[in-house]
Each structure stands twice: as C-alpha cells, then as structure tokens.
Structure 1
C-alpha cells in the first residue's frame, strides 16, 4: 500500500513541476458555498442548475402529472391545429393512465383530461376578439295617451 501511495504522490509532484495544474478554471477564486450551512442535496441542485433542468423533475410522478394537467391551457395555446391539441391531450392521458395502472409515490388524485373541453377552450382563445355589437337605439316614446300598465286588484271597473 505504501508503494502505491508513493507512486501517486510522485506523479502528482511531476505534474505540478510540468505546470499541468496551472490555469485551471476557478484558480484563485473562493470555493463556492463555503461558509454556508451544509445542504444534503447540494449535488442535485448543482446538477439541475448546471444542466439547466427544471426543478419539477424532482417531484414524484403524480405531482408531475398534476402540474402538467394544470399547465394544459398554456401548453396547447400555440398549437396550430385541433389534431395537434388532441394528440397532446392523448399523450398526457396515456401517461396518466399508465401511472394509474401502477401508482407510485404519494396518493394524489390525478384524472385524465377531457380532450373535448380542452379543444373547446383552445377554440375560444383562438377566436379574434369580437367587436362589440352596436348598442340598440332607445325605444321610441309611445304615441297618444299612455296606458296604465297596472291596476289595483281591489278596484273594479264600472261597466
């Protein structure tokens, strides 16, 4: 074991003498996170930040599915055709049904999305804003003597 350590130390010393450790990224800069409290999931957070991945990936499957269901109107808003909207909903429903067959994670209610409702909302949002209808003209004043529209119930008319 000592000969192995001696070999490693000799190689490190030789690399230092050749300058292989010069100009490394971060040289002369403070160690990131030093002085902050220890976080057990620091490596997960740094991986997500470095790879520019959304933090939703850390959620359990049912919560990811619920979040996707909530975001359906925003996701389908820019889709060009009704078929593409239905295909998007079909893919989401397939993922939901797959999870419902073999549920994992916390017990969270997740139901398939109604494609017809999504298409109806998608169509309503795509319609151009309707111009307001012109206001109808006020009714013309009545001609002649105005009629009494009501009559007291205890008074009888003379015949």
Structure 2
C-alpha cells in the first residue's frame, strides 16, 4: 500500500473535521458527498500532493504544452492519433492520401507482378468507392493509379543491377629504365 493515499487522507480529514464539531459556514449548504462539494475535496488532495512534492520536476514544468499553440479544439485527439499511430479511424479521403504517399513502399514489399497489380487495383477500387459515397468530410482528391505503369515501375525497382563490364586488360610495356 502506498504511504500517502490521497483518498484515505481526505477521508481522515473529513472524519477529524466532523468529530471536532466544525460545521459548514452556511447552514443550508448541500450535504457532503454531492457534486457541489467535490471541488473542496479536489483542492485538499492537490494541496497534499503539492506538499509531498509530487509536482516537482515535471518534464514540461514552466513550458507550454507542445502542439496546442494554435486554437484547435481537437488538438488532443490529433496528438493521440499521431503518437499512437492509429489508422483506420480517419475519414476515407485523408486515409487514401496517407496510403497514396506510402504506396510505392508497400508495393516494394510484394514479390510478384500479379501481387502488385492486385494491390494497385484494390487501391483504385477504394478511391472509386470513396468518391461514390456521400458521407461528408473532405473531398477525395487522390488520383487513380495507372496499374500498368505501377507494375512497370515496380519491375524496374526490382530488376537486378546489370553487371558492369570489366575493364579491358592493359598491356604492360617492358622497357628500359634510363
């Protein structure tokens, strides 16, 4: 068990206060435990944590929180998506842009031209499907990929390098030194 438990300390504080006969300043105040008095309990817990030094030497102490300089109500959600690299929850138009940017790397991991052709056709089908849906969100601006051109580019990237021609042997001249 931790030595300083904020919940237990707050409960002790309440019991000691009640046993001493202290009463709220206002006789018609709401009974303890309701939401109206929670802020007092939170203040006590925070004051105790400060006294124990739990807020000393925090990593960003005195510095602005990164990523919230601009006024964006969804800054925390965007930071979470970026930090955790969450995918599949973006609008399809934005997900297609991200997938388009890494398509060549994805194709390089495939082994055959048939696999490359199937992957590009599936990507194009996703673009066409997203253009047909009227779900709202950003417009789909990702262009369709030419399947034959992508297969050819993949084949060029996977072509083994041609051996360089060996230099012709040079003739040695045996001559006298003078």
TM-score category of the 2 structures, normalised to the smaller one: 0.5 to 0.7
| Cα displacement (A) at 1:87 | 2.6
User: C-alpha displacement at 1:93, in angstroms?
Assistant: 0.9
Structure index of larger Rg: 1
Q: State the TM-score, normalizing by the size of structure 1.
A: 0.53
| Distance of 1:108 and 1:69 partners within structure 2 | 12
In the alignment, is the contact (CA less than 8 A) between 1:76 and 1:88 conserved in 2? Answer: yes
Instruction: Specify which of 119, 122, 125 is matched with residue 157 of structure 2.
Output: 125
Give the 5 Å matches for 1:14-25: none
- 2:107 aligned partner: 76
Kept in 2, the 8 Å contact 1:86–1:115? The answer is yes
Partner of 1:51: 84
Superposition map of 1:102-117 within 5 A = 102=133, 104=136, 109-117=141-149
Match of 1:90 among 121, 143, 148: 121
Give the gaps of 5 or more residues in structure 1.
Answer: 136-159
Pairwise CA RMSD: 4.2
- Contact residue 113 and residue 151 of structure 2 kept, 8 A: yes
In the alignment of these two chains, the number of paired residues is 129
CA contact (8 A) 1:82 1:119 kept: yes
Greater relative contact order, per chain length (Cα 8 Å cut-off, separation 6+): 1
Instruction: List alignment gaps of at least 5 residues for structure 2.
Output: 1-27, 168-178
CA distances 1:107-142 after superposition (whole Å, capped 9, x unpaired): 66543222222111111111111124579xxxxxxx
Could you tell me how far apart the structure 1 residues matched to 2:142 and 2:46 are? 58
Q: Structure 2 CA distance, aligned partners of 1:90 and 1:22?
A: 62
